[in-house]
Amino acid sequence: MKTVFVDVDTQIDFLYPAGALYVPGAEKLLPALEKLAHCAAERGIPVLSTVDAHAENDPEFRDWPPHCVAGTAGQQKPRNTLLGKRVTVPKEAAEYSIDGAQQIILETAAIDCFTNPNLLGLLARLDADRYVVYGVVTEYCVRCAAMGLLRTGKRVELVTDAVETLRQEDARRTYDEFTAAGGVLAAVGKITQE
């Protein structure tokens, strides 16, 4: 069974207290994120990392404080979530090669990573049987990624101790929606030890 890890928006602006759109408690995910990255590297599991990559004055900034502007430090991922061989897929339709890449950085400018026109083609190339999803924020970008992946008909696992939420009740509702649609809840320990 081919597994792909889907690492959602684990970027400095979200993860650290000094970040532009800090998710309270998210820095506590770092050991788990590191463990998952290490596990992927060791086993040759491809990692699809979505990243917010906004332009200045992006429409999304009407609803949220400006964050993850392309080219800023806050838009970067912490070093320990990066693997050696990476390729970046831009937010506009593009030609790209994932040959030899351990990590595919998929840029997005909206909460739903499926707004990137390259994503469905990329998933077809990755040809996974199973997706393991984690990152921030549970009820927004993680939810969109997990539900969209479920719609592809593949097994999707959501790593509940490697996600962070803004509101517990919204996270609980997301878990209910996800499991009702056939998703499976998982834990870092189980994913990295199996």
Ranked by CB distance to Zn ion, the top (closest) residue is 52
Tokens representing 81 are 């979530």
Q: Which stretch binds Zn ion (CB under 5 A): 50-58, 71-79, 146-154, 155-163?
A: 50-58
Q: Which is nearer to Zn ion, 27 or 60 (CB)?
A: 60
Smallest gap from Cβ 69 to Zn ion, in A, equals 10
DSSP 85-152: SEEEE-SS------TT-SEEEEEESSS-GGGSTTHHHHHHHH--SEEEEEEE-IIIIIHHHHHHHHTT
Q: Which stretch binds Zn ion (CB under 5 A): 48-56, 90-98, 117-125, 164-172?
A: 48-56
Q: Which is nearer to Zn ion, 68 or 162 (CB)?
A: 68
Tokens 């499976």 label which residue?
A: 184
Query: What is the Cα–Cα distance from 92 to 107, expressed in whole angstroms?
Result: 9
Q: Which is nearer to Zn ion, 69 or 186 (CB)?
A: 69
Q: Which is nearer to Zn ion, 60 or 177 (CB)?
A: 60
Tokens representing 41 are 């590297």
Q: Which is nearer to Zn ion, 51 or 186 (CB)?
A: 51
* Binds Zn ion (CB under 5 A): choice among 52, 107, 139, 157: 52
7 binds Zn ion, rule: CB under 5 A: no
13 binds Zn ion, rule: CB under 5 A: no
Element (H, E) at 32: helix 30-43
How many residues line the site for Zn ion (CB under 5 A)? Answer: 2
Q: Are 45 and 5 in contact (CB under 8 A)?
A: yes
Of 144, 181, 139, 180, whose CA–CA distance to 160 is shortest?
A: 139
Interactions with Zn ion, residue window 54-113 (CB under 5 A): 60
Residues that bind Zn ion in the complex, under the rule CB under 5 A: 52, 60
